[in-house]
Amino acid sequence: MSKFFYRSTVGIDVSADFSVAAILSPDGEVHRKPFKINHNRNGFDYLVDQIKKAEKEFNMKTAIFMESTGVYHLTLFHFLKDTFETCILNPLITNCNKNVDIRKVKNDKKDALTIAKIGKFQDVKYSCNFDIEIYTLKSLCGDYYKFTDSKSTFKKKLSTDLRVIFPTYNTVFSNITSKTLIAILKTYSSPEAILNADKNKLIKLISAHSRKGQVYSENTYKKLIDAAGEAVYIGLNSPSLFVKIINTISIMEALEIQIENLLKEIHLLMCSNRISAEFKKNVQLIYSIPGVGELTATTIMSEIGNIKSFVKPKHLVAYFGIDPSVSQSGKFNSNKNVMSKHGTRIGRRALYAVALASIRKIRNDEPINKVLLNFYKENMKGKSKKVDLVAIMHKLINYIFSVLKNQKEYELRDPKIHVKMHLNKQSNSAA
């Protein structure tokens, strides 16, 4: 039974510019039919007045429920949370309850009533926490990954265009985003321009950006001239394509500036007093896990928010969306189940990067995480790489949950020793 069963509840269906609210009386009847509130000062004040009238009439506190709808609910939730008990519901919960009737009806008024009934009659999970600074940090980290993805997209576009007009560029430069190649393309955007360029100026340009000396610059110049000669012969000669390359480079550089600005702001925010000491400590605890970088730790922790919201590791696994989907009916039980992907996309992406790093080795052939690398080699034989990495991600979730719950840094232990310690602890507790 819901703890709000004997209380008045308010359901709010939130949209971009307005919302629809409905109020249920303590006995479950409709006290106030669904009404519209605009997302402005007058609309918010009107909603508060209606809720306070209901509280005065029933002589009890009212609970407010609304869906998590991207960013649309944030201003209303922030406005109400200090005055009333305001709860955020997962849209997956409300979607399961909106179409229970035989007749299919979908409108804002019905949705507001449904949300109020869910909060009143069903014992569902909800969230009442909202920290502006953590939200800001989460948003900054999300933008970082989005801009990084955009830069990768334009990097592929640049590679594609160069394959058309400068087919053999990769024989000279293996890295398409190297400072030397970008500087050359910005100055000499076509193979003809490279062939007609002054030799000394071009060598000087290569030397200034590569910082590898005169001999390297002269050898690179020779390779570049040979590649440009072949490009003139076999490549497509179109001035519009050359303009496209310059535009792509400009966009990549603009994105790089924005990425650097985001990293600076994330660092400044993490170093400021606006972020709690508890949150900073939790970031450091995640950072203690081998393979986790400082930015990745900040991203994962900003997505988790409050670890107290998760009772078991499997709850955190589901939140990151790496729990397996289930397809079973009668005697049939599918063995081709994929990840649910219902959780945080940015957090899952950061976790995937950690999983990749955890099974690598550093320059002296030392594994970054010996335990996970051995697990990857020994237990994942005959399975696809994606299945292997998801298993590593599950392990990492358990590590993250453990260090945050126990408030202790990660300790690299052999699994056999860890099992022995666990059994000893259980026997001592039983005694």
pLDDT in tens, 270-283: 999 999 999 999 99
Domain assignment of residue 94, given as a range: 9-130
- Position 214 in a domain: yes
Tell me whether residue 2 is in a domain.
no
Instruction: Name the domain boundary from 237, 265, 293.
Output: 265
Alpha-carbon distance 217 to 210, whole Å? 8
Strands 9-14, 18-24: parallel, antiparallel or unpaired by DSSP? antiparallel
**For residues 37 and 44, is the Cβ–Cβ distance under 8 A?**
yes
Rg (CA), the chain: 29
pLDDT at 301: 96
Contact 38, 69 (CB under 8 A): no
Going by C-beta distance under 8 Å and a sequence separation of 6 or more, which residues neighbour residue 189?
A: 242, 243, 245, 246
Question: Do 294 and 381 sit in the same domain of this protein?
Answer: yes
Do residue 140 and residue 83 come from a single domain? no
Distance CA 421, CA 287 (A): 24
Boundary of a domain, candidates 130, 160, 189: 130
The answer on 281 and 404 residing in a single domain is yes
Verify that 116 and 156 share a domain, yes or no. no
**Residue 1 belongs to some domain of the structure:** no
- Residue 367, SS3 per DSSP: strand
Residue 46 inside a domain? The answer is yes
Record the tokens describing residue 349, joined without a space.
């992406």
Q: What is the dihedral of CA 334, 339, 341, 347, to 10 degrees?
A: 170
- Please tell me whether residues 416 and 306 are part of one structural domain: yes
- Report the run of H or E that residue 329 belongs to, with start and end: strand 328-329
- Distance, in Å, from the CA atom of 314 to the CA atom of 163, rounded to the nearest integer, reads 47
CATH number of the domain within which 79 lies: 3.30.420.40
Is the distance from CB of 279 to CB of 134 less than 8 angstroms?
Answer: yes
Looking at residue 382, its pLDDT comes to: 72
Q: Give yes or no: residues 413 and 287 share one domain.
A: yes
DSSP letter string, 25-77: -TTSSEEEEEEEEESSHHHHHHHHHHHHHHHHHHTS--EEEEE--TTTTHHHH
Cα dihedral 137, 143, 147, 152 sign: positive
Residues 284 and 393 in one domain: yes
Residues 373 and 313 in one domain: yes
Q: Is residue 320 part of a domain?
A: yes
- In one-letter notation, the amino acid at residue 331 is K
Identify the helix (H) or strand (E) that includes residue 230.
Answer: helix 213-234
Under 8 Å between Cβ of 210 and 139: no
**Do residues 121 and 150 both lie within one domain?**
no
Q: Residue 155's pLDDT is what?
A: 93
Identify whether 141 is part of a domain: yes
Q: Are residues 195 and 315 in the same domain?
A: no
Spacing of C-alpha 381 from chain mean position? 30
Which of 104, 130, 156 finishes a domain? Answer: 130
The Cα-based distances of 347 to 119, 126, 139, 155, 172 in angstroms read: 28, 20, 12, 24, 38
Q: Which residues of the chain have pLDDT under 70?
A: 97-105, 326-337, 415, 418-423, 425-431
Same domain? 64 vs 106? yes
